[in-house]
Structure 1
């Protein structure tokens, strides 16, 4: 009986972290849904509704951040993107496209903190790489005007995903991308006719493809491994207990038979 209770306690201990994790996920998923609804309201020009959702998000995020272990960088990025989204919701003089862009950045940031793999921002991969490749082709062909136009398009798209990237991508990779992009942007007037700048474009293209390819890898959510290990441990423990009880029962039966034969 004592072993039976030990087994029950062990199972409860193993399941407790899984329950806490599930609650945290439910709370964060709620934030994700709020940010998505706010974006939809912005797209439909329902700015007052978008503002109300952002206010509600702020309240919920404050409550959740007290219990969830967000990093300082994550808190800062969410706060900044939320402030920009709020500005977009209340600033009637802001152009519609800029409003949607700011809210989209916020939406991607919230998704990044709520998703450990396959975040939404990588869905912009094709648009970003296409704009960059067009800029690179223009530079290689000596077409300065088209290079500037396409590189500006690339920068606009890249800036949308940049805050969420900083949540999912290592600081080292971010710094390398920043260095290449800043160099090309600063010396863009010489890019078309400068071999070193053209090589920098090749390097940036490689880094961008590596960035998206690494994020595209459909690796299992680390939390899933905890569930698998915990569940497996429970099953093994249960089977071990059942096997032990069966062994004890058979041992007792053999003893009884031995006694009966002696009698």
Structure 2
């Protein structure tokens, strides 16, 4: 019984997350991510002045964070462009709420992609993007030109929101191939609508999009969680092996003692 209690205590020790100093000290990148998220929430609430102040504050904090956190040239370029577009949309008086929200959302997803090592927020856009693409393909198959162009414009607008963050999370070659296919479909949209062979490009794009989201979801598990599971499992196996060996040793000594008495 005492061995089983020991196993239970060991299991609890390794299963419960241990507090650390890092839990109480957010990194500069995580703080920037929080600022971007607050700016998005304010934009959605129609509080554009407050959102603008936060976006400007982000620039100041980012300059300070860059002293301690290194970013690649591509990361800096993508983040800077998305931030400038968000600020431009917020300052644009004649821009509608959807345009403002989309611009700040794009910036928010980029910052999240830089701060998250798994479970990026852009993956959550899978349903609306795939639903929009489904409308494109259905309209093309039905030969409905007006609906096809409308659905394609809607899909392109949704994909445009996640495009910058995708470039930060997937291999360059994959991102370029995906962009090239989408650009081709956009530029030759009428040809694709009228040609059966060209319509196959839509099927190819659907496959690429499905792989994009599926492959990223496979990487969502936190590596530290797997380390805890493996470590805990190893300790439990070792403990059980030790308990089994002690039990076997005890039984053997008992049998030898009985034989000596006889």
Bin of the TM-score, shorter chain as denominator length: 0.7 to 0.9
Show CA shifts across 1:45-80 (max 9, x none). 211111111121111111111211211111111111
- Matched with 2:143 is 142
Q: Residues 6-21 of structure 1 correspond to what in structure 2 (within 5 A)?
A: none
Is the partner of 2:118 in helix, strand or coil? coil
Deviation, structure 1 residue 25? 5.4
Is 2:31 the partner of 1:30? yes
Please tell me whether residue 52 in structure 1 is matched to residue 32 in structure 2: no
Q: Tell me, what secondary structure is at the counterpart of 2:27? A: helix
Tell me if structure 2 keeps the 8 A contact 1:109–1:164.
yes
Provide the residue aligned with 1:97 in structure 2. Answer: 98
Paired position in structure 2 for 1:129: 130
Runs of 4+ in 1 over 3 A off after TM superposition: 21-25, 218-222, 225-228
Q: CA deviation at 1:93?
A: 2.4
C-alpha distance in structure 1 between counterparts of 2:28 and 2:93, whole Å: 32
Quick one: distance in 2 between partners of 1:22 and 1:171? 33
What is the CA–CA distance in structure 1 between the aligned matches of 2:172 and 2:79, rounded to whole Å?
17
CA 1:211 to 1:25, structure 2 compared with 1: closer, same or farther past 3 Å? farther
Deviation at 1:23, TM superposition (A): 8.7
What's the counterpart of residue 171 of structure 2?
A: 170
Pick closer, same or farther for the CA change 1:199–1:64 going to 2, 3 Å.
Answer: same
Contact 1:28 1:114 in 2 (8 A): yes
> TM-score when scaled to structure 1?
0.74
Residue 149 to residue 124, structure 1, CA distance change in 2 (3 Å): same
User: Following the alignment from structure 2 to structure 1, what is the Cα–Cα distance between the partners of residues 103 and 78?
Assistant: 13
Offset of residue 37 of structure 1:
0.7
Structure 1: state its 5+ residue gaps: 1-17, 237-263
The CA distance in 1 between the partners of 2:227 and 2:84, in whole Å, is 36
Cα 1:225–1:71, aligned 2, differ >3 Å: closer, same or farther? farther
Partner of 2:180: 179
Q: Secondary structure at the residue paired with 1:58?
A: helix
Q: Which runs of 5+ in 2 are unaligned?
A: 1-19, 236-262
Distance 1:24-1:156 versus aligned 2 partners, 3 A rule: farther
Q: Between Structure 1 and Structure 2, how many residues are aligned? A: 212
Q: What aligned pairs does 1:1-263 form with structure 2 within 5 A after superposition?
A: 26-221=27-222, 224=224
Structure 2 length-normalised TM? 0.74
C-alpha distance in 2 between matches for 1:226 and 1:66: 32
